[in-house]
Structure 1
Amino acid sequence: MPEILPADHGILAQIAHGGHGDPHAVLGAHPHDGGVTVRVLKPLAASVTVRYRLASATRKSPGGWGELALAHEHEGVWAGALPVAEVPDYRLEVAYDGGAAIRVDDPYRFLPTVGEMDIHLINEGRHEQLWQALGAHVRRYDGEEPVVGTSFAVWAPRARAVRLEGDFNDWDGRAHPMRQLGTSGVWELFVPGVESGAAYKYVILGADGHWREKADPLAQWAEKPPQSASRVYESTYSWGDDEWMAQRASRGQIDAPISVYEMHLASWRRDRSYAQIADELVPYLADLGFTHVELMPVMQHPFGGSWGYHVTGYYAPDSRFGDPDGLRLLIDRLHQAGIGIILDWVPGHFATDPWALVQFDGAPLYEDPNPQRGWHKDWGSHIFDFGRREVRNFLVANALYWLEEFHVDGLRVDGVASMLYLDYSREAGEWTPNIHGGRENLEAVALLQELNATAYRRAPGIAMIAEESTAWPGVTQPTSASGLGFGFKWNMGWMHDSLQYMEHDPVHRSYHHGEMSFSLVYAWSENYILPLSHDEVVHGKGSLLRKMPGDRWQQLANLRAYYGFMWAHPGKQMIFMGSEFGQEAEWAESRELDWWLLEHPEHQGMRDTVRDLNARYVESPAIWRSDADPGSFAWVEADDAAGNVFGFVRRSGGDELVSVTNFAAMPHHGYRLAFPGAGEWEECLNTDAQAYGGSGVGNLGGVTAVVGEHKGWPAHAEVTLPPLATVWFRRAGER
Structure 2
Amino acid sequence: MSAVDSSTLSAVAAGSFHAPHDVLGPHEVDGTWVIRARRPLASSVTAVAADGTETALAHVHDGIWEGTAARQPAAYDLVTVYGDGTPHRIDDPYRHLPTLGEVDLHLIREGRHEQLWTVLGSHVRHYDGGVGGVSFAVWAPNARAVRVIGDLNGWDGAQHAMRSLGSSGVWELFVPGLAAGSTYKYEILTADGRWIEKADPMARQAEVPPATASVVTESAYTWSDDEWITARGTRTVHDAPMSTYELHLGSWREGLGYVEAADALVDYVGDMGFTHVEFLPLAEHPFGGSWGYQVSGYYAPTSRFGSPDELRFLIDRLHQAGIGVIMDWVPGHFPKDAFALARFDGAPLYEHPDPRRGEHKDWGTYIFDYGRNEVRNFLVANALYWFEEFHVDGLRVDAVASMLYLDYSREHGEWEPNQYGGRENLEAIRFLQEVNATAYKRYPGVAMIAEESTSFPGVTAPTSDGGLGFGFKWNMGWMNDSLVYIGRDPLYRSHHEGELSFSFVYAFSENFVLPISHDEVVHGKGTLFTRMPGDHWQQLANVRAFLAYMWGHPGKQLLFMGQEFGQMSEWSEARQLDWWLLDQPAHAGLQHFVRSLNGVYRDEAPLWSRDSDGAAFSRVYPHAPNTNILGFARRDHHGGTVVVLCNFSGAPIHDVDLTLPGAGHWEEILNSDAQEFGGSGVGNFGGVGTDANGNTRLVLPPLGVLWLRHRAG
Shorter-chain TM-score: what band?
over 0.9
Q: Partner amino acid for 2:321?
A: A
Secondary structure of 1:544 counterpart:
coil
Matches within 5 A, 1:40-119: 40-54=37-51, 65-83=52-70, 85-98=71-84, 100-119=86-105
Post-superposition shift, 1:10? Answer: 0.8
Secondary structure of 1:165 counterpart:
strand
Measure, in 1, the Cα distance between the counterparts of 2:82 and 2:261: 48
Post-superposition shift, 1:66? Answer: 2.4
Q: Partner amino acid for 1:529?
A: V
**Aligned equivalent of 1:721:** 700
Q: Partner amino acid for 2:60?
A: E
Answering whether residue 466 of structure 2 is matched by residue 482 of structure 1, we say yes
- The answer to whether the Cα contact below 8 Å between 1:374 and 1:384 also exists between their aligned partners in 2 is yes
Measure, in 2, the Cα distance between the counterparts of 1:184 and 1:629: 48
Answering whether residue 5 of structure 2 is matched by residue 18 of structure 1, we say no
Q: Partner amino acid for 2:702?
A: P
Distance 1:617 1:90, change over 3 A: same
- The answer to whether the Cα contact below 8 Å between 1:43 and 1:175 also exists between their aligned partners in 2 is no
Answering whether residue 139 of structure 2 is matched by residue 151 of structure 1, we say no
Question: Which of 533, 545, 560 lines up with 1:561 in the alignment?
Answer: 545
Q: 4+ runs of 1 displaced by more than 6 Å?
A: 638-641
Measure, in 1, the Cα distance between the counterparts of 2:622 and 2:38: 80
Distance 1:252 1:7, change over 3 A: same
Matches within 5 A, 1:197-276: 197-276=181-260
**Aligned equivalent of 2:483:** 499
Secondary structure of 1:201 counterpart:
strand
Measure, in 1, the Cα distance between the counterparts of 2:19 and 2:332: 35
Post-superposition shift, 1:233? Answer: 0.6
Could you give the per-residue CA deviations for residues 573-620 of structure 1, whole angstroms, max 9, x where no partner exists? Answer: 100000111111000111000011111111111111111111111110
- The answer to whether the Cα contact below 8 Å between 1:206 and 1:212 also exists between their aligned partners in 2 is yes
Measure, in 2, the Cα distance between the counterparts of 1:75 and 1:575: 64
**Aligned equivalent of 2:26:** 29
Could you give the per-residue CA deviations for residues 461-505 of structure 1, whole angstroms, max 9, x where no partner exists? Answer: 111011000010000000111100001000000000000000001
Measure, in 2, the Cα distance between the counterparts of 1:466 and 1:52: 58
**Aligned equivalent of 1:142:** 128
Post-superposition shift, 1:267? Answer: 0.6
Post-superposition shift, 1:70? Answer: 2.0
**Aligned equivalent of 1:698:** 683
Q: Partner amino acid for 1:76?
A: G
**Aligned equivalent of 1:350:** 334
- The answer to whether the Cα contact below 8 Å between 1:31 and 1:87 also exists between their aligned partners in 2 is no
Could you give the per-residue CA deviations for residues 500-531 of structure 1, whole angstroms, max 9, x where no partner exists? Answer: 00000100101111101110011011110000
TM-score, length of structure 1 as denominator length = 0.95
CA RMSD in angstroms, aligned pairs only: 1.4
Answering whether residue 352 of structure 2 is matched by residue 383 of structure 1, we say no
**Aligned equivalent of 2:613:** 629
Answering whether residue 706 of structure 2 is matched by residue 730 of structure 1, we say no
Measure, in 1, the Cα distance between the counterparts of 2:551 and 2:488: 21
Q: Partner amino acid for 1:329?
A: F
Answering whether residue 159 of structure 2 is matched by residue 175 of structure 1, we say yes
Secondary structure of 1:368 counterpart:
coil
Matches within 5 A, 1:468-547: 468-547=452-531
Unaligned residue ranges in structure 2 (runs of 5+):
none
Question: Which of 109, 112, 115 lines up with 1:129 in the alignment?
Answer: 115
- The answer to whether the Cα contact below 8 Å between 2:266 and 2:317 also exists between their aligned partners in 1 is yes
Distance 1:519 1:641, change over 3 A: farther
Measure, in 1, the Cα distance between the counterparts of 2:209 and 2:12: 33
Secondary structure of 2:436 counterpart:
helix
Post-superposition shift, 1:639? Answer: 9.2
Secondary structure of 1:676 counterpart:
coil
- The answer to whether the Cα contact below 8 Å between 1:510 and 1:641 also exists between their aligned partners in 2 is no
Question: Which of 344, 364, 367 lines up with 1:360 in the alignment?
Answer: 344
Measure, in 1, the Cα distance between the counterparts of 2:30 and 2:417: 64
Q: Percent identity?
A: 61
Answering whether residue 648 of structure 2 is matched by residue 669 of structure 1, we say no
- The answer to whether the Cα contact below 8 Å between 2:641 and 2:711 also exists between their aligned partners in 1 is no
**Aligned equivalent of 2:277:** 293
Answering whether residue 298 of structure 2 is matched by residue 314 of structure 1, we say yes
**Aligned equivalent of 2:310:** 326
Measure, in 2, the Cα distance between the counterparts of 1:616 and 1:352: 47
Measure, in 2, the Cα distance between the counterparts of 1:270 and 1:194: 36
- The answer to whether the Cα contact below 8 Å between 1:643 and 1:664 also exists between their aligned partners in 2 is no
Measure, in 2, the Cα distance between the counterparts of 1:641 and 1:219: 62
Post-superposition shift, 1:661? Answer: 1.0
Measure, in 1, the Cα distance between the counterparts of 2:119 and 2:56: 37
- The answer to whether the Cα contact below 8 Å between 1:699 and 1:720 also exists between their aligned partners in 2 is yes
Secondary structure of 1:244 counterpart:
helix
Distance 1:312 1:99, change over 3 A: farther
Measure, in 1, the Cα distance between the counterparts of 2:199 and 2:291: 20
Q: Partner amino acid for 1:386?
A: Y
Measure, in 1, the Cα distance between the counterparts of 2:111 and 2:364: 28
Post-superposition shift, 1:643? Answer: 5.3
Measure, in 1, the Cα distance between the counterparts of 2:83 and 2:684: 90
Q: Partner amino acid for 1:670?
A: D
Measure, in 2, the Cα distance between the counterparts of 1:439 and 1:662: 43
TM-score, length of structure 2 as denominator length = 0.98
Distance 1:19 1:695, change over 3 A: same
Measure, in 1, the Cα distance between the counterparts of 2:478 and 2:646: 16
Distance 1:641 1:384, change over 3 A: farther
